[in-house]
Amino acid sequence: MTKFIVFTTPRTGSTLLVKSLDTHPDIFCAGEIFLLSGTQFHGECSFKFWKLPLPKKAIYLLNFPNMWMNLQSFLNRFFTAARGEKAKGFKLMHFQTAYLPGITGYLKNNNVKVILLLRENLLKNTLSDLRARHTGVYHNSGAGTEKLPKFKVDLTTLGKKMAEIDTFNKQLEQVTASMDRLKITYEEFDNWDATMNKVLNFINVPDNKIAPVSKKLNPDKLEDMIENYDEMKTWLQQNNYAHFLD
């Protein structure tokens, strides 16, 4: 059985990828099994955090010894084939490595393949994140989410977030450089079948056609999404980000 993770940052299409892979008869692919609140996708696989009525950061500190003692055995259990699957994996977010002591060493030492999923267009990655936070809608449920109103972009926040995502992407590239990895991008989803073929070959499962389980939430034209589009465009041009408008 092939062990794998989808390693990524927010708003890269990772939920689409994970849920679509899970429809393949030979693949079991869970969501974020290291979320404090528990994953909403295959929640039975979530790590059991010690919980007290404390702020989130305090709970992560409280769980550091829990992670240190139990991470390896937890992952060994997770990566045990239980349903006859030929590949088994989960989604790991960049920020989660900060409170998972030993996770990168485990991935290297246990032959876990890494599907590194990034989004090349930093602008659209950032706007997708900001819009989701603004509206509270993170995925296309098919229930009128395509009619979300425009929102106004705070340019200072935009600049900081774009720089942050760029830093995270570079860190992910560096951390996974020595791992058995396949790098794909959100933009490659436009050529869905070829991209899925590449992923399936990487994790050693038959190339059964996989249909995407959801559609894009945000419109292709930024003018249809951003209330102060002209102001944002001018700011991007002044800060050497205009190429992301293409």
Which residue ranges make up each domain of the chain? 2-245
Calpha distance 213→15 (Å, rounded): 9
Q: What was the pLDDT predicted at 139?
A: 64
Query: Which residues does the chain have with pLDDT short of 50?
Result: 143-145
Rg from Cα positions in the chain = 19
Specify the residue for token string 């990034």: 118
CA-to-CA distance for 115 and 109, rounded, in angstroms? Answer: 16
Encoded tokens for 38: 């528990």
CATH assignment, 2-245: 3.40.50.300
The pLDDT value recorded for residue 150 is 87
Residue of 76, 77, 82 whose CA lies nearest to 106: 76
Going by their DSSP bridges, the two strands 87-93 and 181-185 should be labelled as: unpaired
pTM above 0.75, yes or no: yes
Contact 125, 165 (CB under 8 A): yes
pLDDT at residue number 140: 61
